[in-house]
Amino acid sequence: MGERARDWSWSLGTLLALLGVCVAVFVVTGAQRGKARPHTPITRSEAEALFDRAVRLGQAGDVDGLCRSVAATVTNCEGLASSARDAHRAPGPEKPRIVGETWHAGERDGEDTRVLHVEGVNADGRAYRSDFAVIRNSPDAFEVRSLTAVYWSGVRFQH
């Protein structure tokens, strides 16, 4: 009977030790999770580089490439492109001018948006003003994408 009691106490001790390790891991990971992740704000040069890529793809008529490599979501981009096409809007031969920018701080870390305000002329000669809204795909991502990649559509960013 003494042998069984010793086995039981060793098992109970091991169980308590494992439980202690689990609690420690839980506390540490929970504390890490609760901390705000540092993120890098979107710079003007990052936003302009993405805009330049959008203009190259748009002027080349590569809407699929635009939606896949510039847009934050392909579905949104395809919808904007379809609306622009239905309104007989196509990118003009000249690169649109960036006439201003605004910064919108997100409610949570990493949800910031830099918006480039652009003016240009569509292929049919109609002038437009659009917003090219740029985000990071996640708080710790280095890649930037646009919420409004179809810059010639006349879409305005609403925060």
Q: How far apart are CA 152 and CA 131, in angstroms?
A: 9
Cα dihedral 49/52/58/61 (nearest 10)? -100
Q: Is residue 59 part of a domain?
A: yes
Q: Is residue 158 part of a domain?
A: no
Q: Which domain holds residue 106?
A: 44-153
Q: How far apart are CA 57 and CA 122, in angstroms?
A: 15
Whether residue 62 is predicted with pLDDT greater than 60 in this model: the reply is yes
Same structural domain, 80 and 140 = yes
pLDDT digits (tens, 9 = 90+) for 67-106: 999 999 999 999 999 999 999 999 999 999 999 999 988 7
Same structural domain, 14 and 81 = no
Kindly report the pTM of this predicted structure.
0.73
Same structural domain, 102 and 138 = yes
Whether residue 4 is predicted with pLDDT greater than 60 in this model: the reply is no
Which residues, at least 6 apart from 153, have a Cβ–Cβ distance to it below 8 Å? Answer: 80, 81, 83, 84, 87, 89, 128, 130
